[in-house]
Chains A and B, each alone.
Chain A
Amino acid sequence: GDSVTQMEGPVTLSEEAFLTINCTYTATGYPSLFWYVQYPGEGLQLLLKATKADDKGSNKGFEATYRKETTSFHLEKGSVQVSDSAVYFCALSPVTNSGYALNFGKGTSLLVTP
């Protein structure tokens, strides 16, 4: 079935460092891809999404490009801040705006130090 694999954490970076969190997927058809973020003590929040190949999702300085040829959706940010410390989940859905649930990766914990 459809699945998502993301790099294991924890990832520890200094403030202003470059961030990459790898995510690859396995799916039939053309899924939609998402990155969710979970800050300590809070629920998951949608960070960005892409619904078709070559789409780039972006939000709050984070970016991810839907690469069909490599089945990847890596999350990047050029300069992380302490406030970016959270757990990041890559996810896919067979179809958007439907009754389909999301399949999640295991999550990658990011800690940014001053």
Chain B
Amino acid sequence: GAVVSQHPSWVICKSGTSVKIECRSLDFQATTMFWYRQFPKQSLMLMATSNEGSKATYEQGVEKDKFLINHASLTLSTLTVTSAHPEDSSFYICSARDSGNTGELFFGEGSRLTVL
């Protein structure tokens, strides 16, 4: 079946540094990708909707200057956590919507960020 790959799956960084997380749709094109954040024992919270070739749409309360999203191609979206702080430590999950007939959503395995 369709696959969405996230990289890295696990990253540790120092406070104040920036971290980039990639989300790729491996065998389908995705004009729309979504970025979620998941806290332990909590639901997935939608952070932003990433549209290929245009600016991302951020949910209320999500700082767009802190969580930079780029969707430069039909198979790749990136999330950059800028000037990361310990409170940004979380599990980040992307999903990509198949632009073909099904319109089905596929999810990446997630990326666990730990900021020291």
Contacts and interface: CB of A to CB of B under 8 A. Distances in A.
B49 A99 contact: yes
A98 B42 contact: no
Given A99-B32, A99-B49, A89 B109 contact: no
Chain B contact-residue range equals 20 to 34
A106 B32 contact: no
Contacts of A104: 36, 43-44
Interface residues of A, number: 19
Interface string A36-80: 100001111110000000000000000000000000000000000
A13 interface: no
Contact of A43 (B46, B93, B103): B93
A11 interface: no
A101 B43 contact: no
B103 A89 contact: no
A43 B43 contact: no
- Return the 7 tightest CB-CB contacts between A and B, nearest first: A97-B103, A44-B107, A43-B107, A43-B109, A106-B43, A104-B44, A101-B34
Interface of B: 4, 6, 32, 34, 36, 41-44, 46, 49, 51, 93, 95, 97, 102-110
Given A43-B4, A104-B36, A104-B44, 12 more contacts: A36-B107, A42-B109, A43-B106, A43-B108, A43-B110, A44-B107, A46-B104, A97-B102, A97-B103, A101-B49, A102-B105, A106-B41
